[in-house]
Structure 1
Amino acid sequence: MIDLYYWPTPNGHKITMFLEEAGLPYTIVPVNIGKGEQFNPDFLKIAPNNRMPAIVDHEPQGGGTMSLFESGAILLYLAEKTGRFLPKEMCGRYETLQWLFWQMGGLGPMLGQNHHFSQYAPVKIDYAIKRYVNETNRLYGVLDRRLADREFLAGADYTIADMASYPWIVPWEKQGQNLDDHPNLKRWFHAIAERPGTKAAYAHAPRINPDFGKTMSEDAKKIMFGQTATSGRA
């Protein structure tokens, strides 16, 4: 059994997508990041960066328990645990990992900044909004070109690279993008959206967070965007 510390964000969805696709038994432990639950001392023992998702695997190889934070590391761990969604041969494996790391180092951080300055920042800074909307567009273009001659990011098979990237494309309209401008990306996006594992993963969102999709409260913004080295300390 796996305990998944989760809140319905792009990084949280990555892990539920894998778990649903693989059919692994898991229990969701909600971490309401808008109420500061990521600073709970028990959670910080698992995720010292005070970010979700995180997992505790009660049946790891070799026995005992295994706790892990960082969504990319969790996807890699689960792929190796199950032997699924990551090619075993070297070239295919690294084809997948390069796109997983591309998402972790580029797509997620840049689109996250797009979300922040476009939707959450108390002052609308035109330069910042344009900077990150344009960078989002560039990254969409990278994906579109990559998908021009292959079904998924690493080739013919669905992998953890696709699971990592898909949730960041879901709010494409809020990011100031148009999927019609990227036909290969649009085809890939809709193919993943129709997978039963994707639908099951996203069905958790309104159940775990009844306010999912609603405007973030000012108190939540202060917790989310006002963190320093002393945040969460008693």
Structure 2
Amino acid sequence: MIIEKLLLMTASSAAIQPFYSEVLGLPVIRSEQGSFTVQAGWSELTFREMDPQPAEEHYYHFAFTIPENRLPEAKKWIEALVPIGTEAGQDVSYSESWNSHSVYFEDPAGNILELIARHTMDNAAAHPFDPQQDILCISEIGVPTSSVPAAVDQFESLGLMTYKTRNDSFNPIGDDNGLLMVVEIGRRWHFTDKTAESFPVRVTIRGIGELYLRENEQGLSIENIN
């Protein structure tokens, strides 16, 4: 599953644009009053201001894929710029079932970002880690909802299938290239003290189109807005 575009909401685009363009070094491809877009490998990431302004900041969890052999160098790079998340005294997450290593950090708005090296992918780099070359794509976006099974059924009706094993509280949809992380509202995000909360997301998936995801009283609403 290829995530071509991801649009997230924020209270102030001006407050976070420098983090993405200057700290992470992602090229700005569009910038206007109230929004900006950066290029992250084959994916575009857009932040747009909310109107009216909410009482509290929205925060999301999303991941960038990096070359499968460059996590140690990527960790040194990002921890020199921002604090990285820890859990049980560890600052690198290893998943045996996914065969991946990750590090977690936050942007100034509190969004939870992840650099993930998936050892199942044939994307090893021969050169030293370079964020401008080696942030390869957006490969995950968290989708919290009150009913994970119902949301999974909706995604599967669109041809977007479960990754690994179906689960009632944590059910990724997609494949190694891209995942929608369908999780139960209130579940703690890995390597943070934040819980999963539902905020509107627009995600463009190759072969599917643009989906508008938002939670309502019935659970997750998925609107294809092509």
TM-score range, shorter chain: under 0.3
Whose helix proportion is higher, 1 or 2? 1
When Rg is computed on C-alpha atoms for both structures, the one with the higher figure is: 1
Q: Which has the higher contact order (CA 8 A, sep 6+)?
A: 1
Q: TM-score, normalised by structure 2?
A: 0.28
